Amino acid sequence: MNSDTAADFAAERARLRKQRQAAETVHERCEVMREMAALERKEHTETYEKLAKEYRTAAW
């Protein structure tokens, strides 16, 4: 996906949902779920970067 507009993310999410529903094996569903997670991280990069920074600086 080259463009990062809200409509593009929504269209890609819809495509992946259909692909997940059509998946015939657990492996295929897992692959689609990985793609969906990557899309989520791409769409919300700032949030994920903030969480990662908080995790790295947390006092354990």
Q: What is the pLDDT of residue 1?
A: 43
pTM (predicted TM-score): 0.78
Farthest CA pair distance, the chain: 44
Residues of the chain with confidence (pLDDT) below 70? 1-3
